[in-house]
Structure 1
Amino acid sequence: MIRSTLTAATVLFCLSAADVSAAGYRDESVEMTTVQALDIPAYMGLWYEIARYPNSFEENCVGVTAEYAQRDDGKIDVVNTCRKGALDGPVEQAEGVARPAGPGKLSVSFVPFLSWLPFLNGDYWVLHVSDGYEMAVVGNPAGSTGWVLARSPEISQEQLDTARQVFSENGYDLTALRMVPQPPE
């Protein structure tokens, strides 16, 4: 397996490119609602990316996962893993740090040593989490990103319908949501 870790310069470029060219997939006049009582310890662990709104930093990524681990200082280590081009393609990882930023809200930086610079932090708002923390819907106020995450590589049609409803209620354009190939269970 080929493995490469994104360098800080690459991540910086991706973040700046995302800010400049990111398409807004939501009507920003619609108020976003987040999970008011996000159980951070329950949210930790491995999540599979089931669907996403296209973004420059995940271009050509399949088999995407995100893994969260709480740190003693209250912050959260984040490791995003992508397979480039195919489920058996080369692995790329981006490592970051998140910090709580309000009810159901995290601020994430993939340039942790510069996380004090506000323009290098991304909004990561948990819009919905299912009972048992098996499925989550995440977005940001600008609507430039959005994800459906699950604890397994596949979800039911009912779960997908719930995720789509959450996005719709938060002003997202459902026609832009794309499914992400995952390896079968």
Structure 2
Amino acid sequence: DTLGPGAVRLAAAAARHWAAVRADAAVAAVGRTVYALLPQAGPDEARRLAEQAVAALGRTLAAPLRAAVSRPATDPDALPALRAEVDDVLRVTTASPDAPDVAALTDVHAQVLLGHCADELARRPALRHPAVDAMRAHDRSRGTAYAASVLAWLDAVGNIAEAAQRLTVHPNTLKYRLRRARELFGLALDDPDVRLSCWLQLRLPPVGAP
């Protein structure tokens, strides 16, 4: 496959930028991603240089860019893990217009973790909580809102008033939905492990969603 013109321009502009800014930087372009290895650069310096690169290359290419900064390492054998870390961060930040232009794993750790959980559930659908799938199927076929109600309650850490306000329903309506979710789908929401499992799956796209 050939790269698109945007990726080619990015690779060329990044090579010029790093040659001018940091002569000892090793730069490689893979697809739409440019990797820069910065010898002897600490975390603060790496983030500052990444911010400068995003700003400069964004102006040159007239396009929004994202950068990820990995943890520092001295062992060359760590490079594959560092690249994977950068890819994880970029997967999150390039998917959200509200994400920071430059981020490290510590900035988006929760989103990265959820992404890996989604990957594992996609690979092994038998791990999905059957009650959550049943609840979502019920909502689709009958126009109910059990999944959204359970998720709002979990997001509000069990605060009925707050969850009801988010859903714009009366607290008694939410209480009824939670009770029915327990009855219809066998959700043991009093069990913290079940709550975590349900919350995790409800935060992820349904089966077959893009």
Question: TM (normalized to structure 2)?
Answer: 0.26
More strand by share: 1
Structure with higher Rg: it is: 2
Structure possessing the higher relative contact order (Cα contacts under 8 Å, 6 or more residues apart): 1
TM-score, structure 1 as length reference: 0.28
